[in-house]
Amino acid sequence: MATARDIAHPSGDRAVSYSIDNSPVATFHSPLSGRNSFMDNVILSKAAQKQLKPFNTEDIKILLLENVNQTGKDILTRQGYQVEALKTSLPEAQLIEKIRDVHVIGIRSKTKLTDKVLREAKNLLVVGCFCIGTNQVDLDYAAKHGIAVFNSPFANSRSVAELVIAEIITLARQLGDRSNEMHRGTWNKVSAKCWEIRGKTLGIVGYGHIGSQLSVLAEAMGMSVVYYDILTLMAIGSAKQVPTLDQLLEEADFVSLHVPETPETKAMISNKQFEQMKTGSYLINASRGTVVDIPALIKAMRANKIAGAALDVYPNEPAANGDYFNANLNTWGEDLRGLNNIILTPHIGGSTEEAQRAIGVEVAEALVRYINQGITFGSVNLPEITLRSLTLDEANHARIIYIHRNVPGVLRKVNEILAEHNVDKQITDSKGGIAYLMADISGIKTEDIKDIHDRLDSLTSRILTRVLY
Ligand SMILES: NC(=O)c1ccc[n+]([C@@H]2O[C@H](COP(=O)([O-])OP(=O)(O)OC[C@H]3O[C@@H](n4cnc5c(N)ncnc54)[C@H](O)[C@@H]3O)[C@@H](O)[C@H]2O)c1
Ligand SMILES: O=C(O)CC[C@@H](O)C(=O)O
């Protein structure tokens, strides 16, 4: 039955209108993938790989926001998809208007995909976060509605770690202030309260991809490293894990934050924590803006408790470049700008050519694998499923994808439907209340495909049914 999610297939005998999620029909297309990636080689048995699509590729509509790198745009465009790319994020009303129409959306950190926005996204199959953080997406709502979310978990980690190293030296030597003075024509040659970083202690909060990279770089520059994490993690080099945040704050000359945005990390550094820090110590935040209580930081710096700070992230960040970093955005904006020895950067920790190119490739390839093959490897909100690709030798095969609520008895019902056919291979996994089943069926006729699709789709456990062939 044709619905608002339908896509018309103008060509071929089997051209019929069906939505992407429920389309068992249409012309077979076999465009070659743009790149030979690791995943192509490992999972898709490249040699005789058959591209599975139940739709004309040019019908897939993709909206890319926030200036996604050209590498990502190229991969998606080469697939034949319709790609619209904007340099900025969009205000909520415009986002809702646009998202109704697309099957795929690519975003970075600014676009908030809340339940309110996702509710309107009736055609949406998948979200690509062209960044590390996924806190801007309601992952739970997306999973419950069969929308897969992918990100790039570590392609910009090194860029962030390098920025933090630069900031440690810049703060220790008050370089920002000296440079600003010179720009105003003032020569101010001082050494008071300017330090080497050699022998100083760096406290890293969150010892994941970025924190551990930073640890290596800091030790190479002669710093001692202590770290605090909710997990017990293997120390790299001579770094030492401490059992509490309190202990880290008491020991560190520089505190650098590398935790995700969660309810537990909200205002993790506030008045009490600034009091615990050493007098004359420094704070760096390149994680998320909600992690530091900024009015408390302003107070601690005015009291000379904290000798300097570097902030790359803020509770409210503008959707586009321009003169937006003012009191309208964050009430304390002016107070922050008036402090000495504070480095303020516009969320550029991961903004290097290397990182953005790598992220573009990684996320775009994940989107293509998901759209064309149903593979969820790397998804942050659905069970991670891969299944060996169908090959060109395997004619009359179809791939069934059934995303469903993880309730007792579903597999029996699904297999009653599939049992009338030859199931070549099948895999299923669950995450929370959501399960993902993928099965390849051989010797199939077009009318069987539609029948399987419609019967699966009528089960009460169904979230999303896709049939690819
Ligand atoms: N400024 C930027 O441009 C930029 C770029 C990349 C990432 N980020 C931010 O940096 C964060 C960290 O990135 P990552 O790749 O290192 O993440 P990661 O997931 O690899 O590491 C995060 C670490 O924090 C730990 N953690 C979680 N909650 C904690 C808590 N309450 N207390 C202590 N430790 C806790 C985790 O156990 C994990 O080891 C990201 O979530 C993202 O928000 C910012
Ligand atoms: O590029 C961005 O907008 C986000 C960068 C960073 O915060 C991330 O989460 O990877």
Given the structure tokens 């891969």, which residue do they identify? 386
Active site residue 288: yes
Mutate to test the pocket of ligand 1, among 258, 266, 290 (most ligand atoms within 8 A of CB): 258
Strands (E) in 37-147, as ranges, are 61-64, 82-85, 104-107, 126-129
- Judge if the beta carbon of residue 131 lies within 6 A of ligand 2: yes
Whether 347 is a known active-site residue: answer yes
- Cα–Cα distance measured from residue 424 to residue 439, given in angstroms and rounded to the nearest whole number: 7
Both 223 and 302 in one domain: the answer is yes
Residue 433 lies in a domain: no
In eight-state DSSP terms, residue 31 is P
Catalytic residue among 162, 181, 219, 317: 317
What whole-number distance in Å separates Cα of residue 18 and Cα of residue 25?
7
Report if residue 376 sits inside a domain.
yes
Q: How many domains does the chain have?
A: 2
Whether residue 68 is found in the same domain as residue 173: no
Residue among 117, 118, 84, 122 at smallest CA distance from 101: 122
User: What are 194-221's pLDDT values in tens digits?
Assistant: 999 999 999 999 999 999 999 999 999 9
DSSP state of 30: -
Residues of the chain with pLDDT under 70: 1-51, 53-56
Specify the 3-state DSSP secondary structure of 148: strand
Q: Rounded CA gap, 400 and 402, in Å?
A: 6
Residue 405 lies in a domain: no
Q: Are residues 204 and 283 in the same domain?
A: yes
For the Cβ of 440 lying below 6 angstroms from any atom of ligand 1, the answer is no
Residues 135 and 217 in one domain: no
| pLDDT for res 38 | 36
Please give the residue range of the domain that contains residue 359. Answer: 5-154+353-393
Quote the ligand 2 centre to 350 CA distance (angstroms).
Answer: 6
Quick one: 138 and 174 in the same domain? no
Spell out the residues 6+ positions from residue 171 whose beta carbon is closer than 8 angstroms to its own.
254, 282, 284, 307, 308, 309, 310, 341, 343
Position 55 scores a pLDDT of: 65
Q: Is 50 domain-assigned?
A: yes
| Same domain (yes/no): 195, 306 | yes
Of 363, 393, 423, at which residue does a domain stop?
393
Q: Which pLDDT value is given to residue 23?
A: 34
Same domain for 35 and 142?
A: yes
Domain-embedded: residue 430? no
How high is the mean pLDDT of the chain? 89
Report the pLDDT value the prediction gives residue 389, as an integer from 0 to 100: 82
What pLDDT is stored for residue 44 in this prediction?
Answer: 40
Say if residue 128 is in the same domain as residue 179.
Answer: no
The residue type at 216: V
What is the per-residue pLDDT for 265? 98
Helix axes 446-457, 410-418, angle to 10 degrees: 160
Residues 246 and 375 in one domain: no
Q: Residues 324, 186: one domain? A: yes
Q: Which of 67, 86, 109 to mutate to test the pocket of ligand 2 (most atoms within 8 A of CB)?
A: 109
Q: Domain containing 282 — which CATH number? A: 3.40.50.720
E strands along 406-433, which residues? 422-431
Angle between helical axes of 157-172 and 209-220 (0-180°, round to 10): 50
Within this chain, do residues 204 and 319 fall inside the same structural domain, yes or no?
Answer: yes
- How far does the centroid of ligand 2 lie from the alpha carbon of residue 416, in Å? 45
How many Å lie between the centroid of ligand 2 and the Cα of residue 110? 9
Residue 393 has what pLDDT? 79
Establish if 32 belongs to a structural domain: yes
Structure tokens belonging to residue 150: 């992918």
The active-site residue out of 158, 288, 369, 397 is 288
Tell me whether residue 384 is one of the annotated catalytic residues. no
- Asked whether residue 137 falls in the same domain as residue 205, the answer is no
All residues at 6 or more sequence positions from 420 whose CB lies less than 8 Å from its CB, including other chains: none
Inside any domain, residue 448:
no
Residue 109 within any structural domain of the chain: yes
